[in-house]
Amino acid sequence: MPQERHHPGEGPGDGTLAVRAGLPEPVKHEPTLPGPVFAAHFHLPGEPTGPYTYGRDENPTWTHLERAIGTLEAPGESGVETVVFASGMAAISAVLLSQLSAGDAVVLPADGYQALPLLHEQLRAYGIEVRTAPTGGDAQLDVLDGARLLWIETPSNPGLDVCDIRRLVAAAHAGGALVAVDNTLATPLGQRPLELGADFSVASDTKGMTGHGDVLLGHVSCRDPLRAAEVRRWRKIVGAIPGPMEAWLAHRSLATLQLRIDRQCATALGLALVLAEHPDVTGLRHPGLPEDPSHAIAARQMRRFGSVISFELADRARAERFLEELRLVDDATSFGGVRSSAERRGRWGGDAVAEGFIRFSVGAEDPEDLIADVLRALDAARKAVG
């Protein structure tokens, strides 16, 4: 799998960036990462100038985190601005609703995150034309003409299809459209949309970025200060702000991002290779597998292939028994955490997947233990259900 090759003179490596990103200048007797600032308002005599006036607008804890995420999104660049939100959906909504107006057209993935259809309804209610196409095969190109904004999700969730970001960006920009990339599955260590030409890099940091399953958070990063100001204004209007404790926990968690992601990605690929040989598994997808339909494109634009695998078992009963038999894996709907999780996606009813479709998020357990647990559960499910 692609890994960072760090050579002297090329700038800090991913681990160094993750550990040091967003830290303030050292002050004697002060902590290296200041604690969360709990404040609804700030002392503000005279004219209301300066960075911190009211708690819905800015907070020093957000500032440290936003600088840290910006560093990871575009290392070495000083012009990237990041805006953090209370959740990934808040970040997604902020881009769409701050950039689109009645009469505009937007192109969204037909196979994207399950909550996107809720946004389809709201966008149409505002007089915005919503077009959809699958992620695979760069199919969104076919419905791009005249659009104001192209929304890409790659790898897609939960199907793990990949599209060519550079190609789609070039076509969109040629037609005057902006491009936003949902980078949740990859994280900035796996893929850097801004470097690939996107106008916005968006993510639910609830997942891999924070990685411990205890924080809801999202962010938007972009180079254009006017676009960043529009996104930040939307956050102020709707009040979709993160709590200072959540922001501080997120920043703390970034320090282990490279360690977590490398372990999880390596184990995910190892598990995928084992599952590829298992007779009960069909429809296996992981961008790191050489035989995966998306591998060639992923290898050109991804630096790490991610920690999520998808596959199918024979039917609902087999999938549910498999999940019951797992001992080291939580049956949960999130992904990207240090504890492995898996679920039968069909239970939600919103994804176009088979009843036996499993989304499996690989954690930081010992690879041998996790693989053994999965194989044992597969065998137990076959014996129990047939």
Q: Structure pTM?
A: 0.95
The backbone region for 346, taken as left when phi is positive above 0, alpha when psi lies in -120 to 50, beta otherwise, is alpha
- Annotated active-site residue 138? The verdict is no
Contact present, 97 and 226 (Cβ < 8 Å): no
Q: Is the dihedral angle over the CA atoms 359, 193, 292, 140 positive or is it negative?
A: positive
* Per-run averaged pLDDT (10 residues), the chain, 386 residues: 53 95 95 96 89 94 98 95 98 98 98 92 97 97 98 97 98 98 98 98 98 97 97 97 98 98 98 98 98 98 98 97 98 96 88 92 98 98 90
- Annotated active-site residue 28? The verdict is no
Catalytic residue among 113, 131, 205, 232: 113
Give, in order, the Cα–Cα distances in Å from 331 to each of 10, 270, 309: 42, 21, 15
Catalytic residue among 148, 192, 207, 227: 207
Q: What is the pLDDT of residue 7?
A: 54
Q: What is the pLDDT of residue 9?
A: 58
- Annotated active-site residue 182? The verdict is yes
Distance between CA atoms of 342 and 206, rounded to whole angstroms? 16
Contact present, 114 and 350 (Cβ < 8 Å): yes
Give, in order, the Cα–Cα distances in Å from 121 to each of 25, 102, 225, 338: 46, 14, 29, 34
- For 376, counting Cβ atoms within 10 Å of its Cβ (0-12 exposed, 13-18 middle, 19+ buried), the class is middle
Catalytic residue among 56, 167, 347, 382: 56
Catalytic residue among 14, 182, 262, 351: 182
- Annotated active-site residue 207? The verdict is yes
Q: b/e map of 83-118 (b: 16 or more CB within 10 Å)?
A: bbbbbbbbbbbbbbbbbbeeebbbbbbbbbbeebee
